[in-house]
Amino acid sequence: MAVRTLPLFDGFIETPFERRFQSLLRQAWRHRSWHVMVAEPGSGKTMGIGDLRDEAARQAGMVGGRRYPVLAVTAPKNDPREAALGNLLLLALGVGARGRWSERKYLLYDLLGQYGVECLMCDDAHDLSMPHLIFLKELTDHLFLAYPAHPLGLCLVTAGRGASIPLKDVFDQPETMWMQFRRRLDCLHPYCRVVSHTEGEVRDILLALEQIYRPSFPELNLQQWTGSLYKWLTHPLLDPQKSGRVLMDPLMKLVTTALKWSYAERQADVTSNHLKAAAELLTLRRDTIQLIDAENNRFKEDKPEKQESGEEQERPKPKGGKAKEPKKQPSSDEPENPSPK
C-alpha cells in the first residue's frame, strides 16, 4: 500500500508576530522613515517582507507600466563591494547586471525613480559591509536631491538574540558619515526589536492551522494541545534566552511533522504520541545523526553478524543414527603406528 503524503500549506499566515513586524514595515513605507529592526532567526521576517512587497505591487497595479513601491533584497554574503548590493537591486527591478558597474550605478538611480520605488527593505542586514552602508546613503542622498525630490524609506532587517542590536555599534561611531546615518533614523523608533509569540498567540496560530488542514483532518483539534506545545517549544534548546516566546519556525515544524505522521496512518485527528515524538525530534534528538543507506548494503553488513552468532550456538546433530565421535588424536608419548605384540 502506498504511503499517503499530506499536502502541506506553504503560504503566508498573518500571525501576531507578522502583524507587529509588518506594521513597522508599513510605517517606513508610508512615511519614508528609516529603521533598524531585529528579530530572532526563524521568527518569520523574510515571509513578512515578501508578503508586504507583493501587497504593495498589487496596490500599485500595472497602469502606466511596472511599479515597485517596495523593493526588497537580501544583503550580499561574502562580497563587501558596493557593486554586489547594487546588482541585487537591479535584479529586483528585473534588469540584468551587465556592463560596467560605474555605468550601471547611475542607471540604478534613474530606474528607482522610474519604477516608483518608495521604500528599500534589506533582509539579513547584519551582513552589510561598510561599503554597502555608504552606498545606501549615497543612493538615498542622490534621489533626495534629484528634481523632483524622491525620498526613500529604509528598513534594515537583522537577525539577533539577546539584548544586542546589530549595526548599532556602527552607527554610534564618531565619524561624520555614521553621525549623518544615525540622524536619519526615525526619531521615535530608530531601533526596534520585534518579539515572538506568547502562549495565547500560539493558540490563535493553532486555530488558523486547524482551518487550513481541516480538509485532510475532519476532526482536527490542535487548540487542546496549546499548553503542551508551548512547554515543548520553550525548551532551553529552543529558547536559550528564556524569553518565554515561541518562534514560528519550530512551531510549524512540530505541527506539520505530527500531522504528516497522523495522515499516513489515516487518522482523523493528530495524535498525542505523534506530537510528543515530533517535539523530541526538535529538542532531545535534534543532534541525532541518521544513517541513510541502501537496503542491499545493509543486508550485506548484517550477514556476517548472523554467521558469527550462529557459530556461538551448538552445532546441530546429524539426522539419523548416532553422531560420530571425533577421532582421538595420539598423544606425544605414544607412537603414531604402534606395532602389535
When the pLDDT of each residue in the chain is averaged and rounded to a whole number, the result is 86
* Residue 290's pLDDT band (cuts 50, 70, 90): confident
- Give yes or no: residues 165 and 210 share one domain: no
Confidence of residue 1 (pLDDT cuts 50, 70, 90): low
**Inter-CA distances, 125 with 36, 39, 164, Å:** 9, 12, 14
Residue keyed to cell 513605507: 29
CA distance 131 to 70: 23
Please state the separation of Cα 240 from the chain's center in Å.
Answer: 17
User: Cβ(67)–Cβ(81) under 8 Å?
Assistant: no
Q: Residue 27 maps to which CATH number?
A: 3.40.50.300
In angstroms, the Cα distances linking 79 to 87, 159, 181 are 12, 19, 22
* CA–CA distance, 243 with 258 (Å, rounded to integer): 25
> So what's the pLDDT on residue 324?
52
Are residues 120 and 36 both part of a single domain?
A: yes
> Residue 86 in contact with residue 73, Cβ under 8 Å?
no
33 and 126 belong to one structural domain: yes
Q: How far is the C-alpha of 159 from the C-alpha of 246, rounded, in Å?
A: 16
- Report pLDDT for 293: 81
Distance CA 175, CA 320 (A): 101
- Same domain for 205 and 156, yes or no, is no
Q: What is the pLDDT of residue 62?
A: 67
Asked whether residue 296 carries a pLDDT value surpassing 70, the answer given is: no
Which residues on neighbouring strands pair with residue 157, listed in sequence order?
A: 37
Q: Is the pLDDT higher at 189 or at 61?
A: 189
Residue 304 pLDDT greater than 50, yes or no: no
Q: Which three cell numbers stand for residue 338?
A: 604402534
Q: Give the mean pLDDT of 90-99.
A: 85
**pLDDT reading at 242 higher than 70:** yes
**Residues 42 and 123 placed together within one structural domain of the fold:** yes
pLDDT at 220 over 60: yes
Residues 6+ apart with CB under 8 A from 290: none
- Comparing 146 with 297, the larger pLDDT belongs to 146
| pLDDT above 50: residue 306 | no
Asked which of 252, 282, 312 is the last residue of a domain, the reply is 282
Domain tally for the chain? 2
Q: Tell me, what's the pLDDT at 60?
A: 84
Q: Are residues 55 and 142 in the same domain?
A: yes
Residue where a domain terminates, one of 282, 298, 318? 282
Report for 111-115, 200-204, 297-301: range of highest mean pLDDT: 200-204
Residue 296 lies in a domain: no
Q: What is the pLDDT of residue 295?
A: 61
Q: Determine the residue type at 120.
A: L
Query: Is 321 contained in some domain?
Result: no
Q: Looking at the domain assignment, is residue 104 inside a domain?
A: yes
Integer Cα distance of 284 and 264 in angstroms: 24
For residues 65 and 164, state if they share a domain: yes
Residue 297 domain flag: no
Q: Which three cell numbers stand for residue 341?
A: 605384540
Distance CA 268, CA 320 (A): 60
**Domain containing residue 179:** 16-193
Q: How confident is the model over 10-62, as pLDDT tens digits? A: 899 999 999 999 999 999 999 999 999 999 999 999 999 999 999 999 988 76
Q: Are 46 and 188 in a shared domain?
A: yes
Same domain, 188 and 243: no
Give the C-alpha separation, 11 to 220, whole Å. 20
159: helix, coil or strand? Answer: strand
Query: Where does 125-175 have alpha helices with state H?
Result: 130-145, 168-171
Residue 261: closest CA among 251, 274, 242: 274
Instruction: Indicate whether 315 pLDDT > 60.
Output: no
pLDDT at 303 over 70: no
| Rounded-to-integer distance, Cα 189 and Cα 320, Å | 95
Percent above pLDDT 90 for the chain: 66
Average confidence (pLDDT) over 241-246: 92
Neighbours of 60 (CB within 10 A): 17
Amino acid occupying residue 199? E
Phi-psi region of 188 (alpha: psi -120 to 50; beta: other; left: phi over 0): alpha
Q: Are residues 107 and 22 in the same domain?
A: yes
Residue with the bigger pLDDT between 147 and 243: it is: 243
State mean pLDDT over 277-288.
86
Task: Give me the residues paired with residue 252 across strands.
Answer: none
- Average pLDDT, integer, range 204-210: 96
Higher pLDDT, 65 or 152: 152
Per-residue pLDDT tens digits for 257-279: 999 999 999 999 999 999 999 99
Last residue of some domain: 193, 225, 252?
193
- pLDDT interval class at 327 (50, 70, 90): low
Buried b (16+ CB within 10 A) or exposed e, 282-309: bbeeeeeeeeeeeeeeeeeeeeeeeeee
- Does 127 share its domain with 274? no
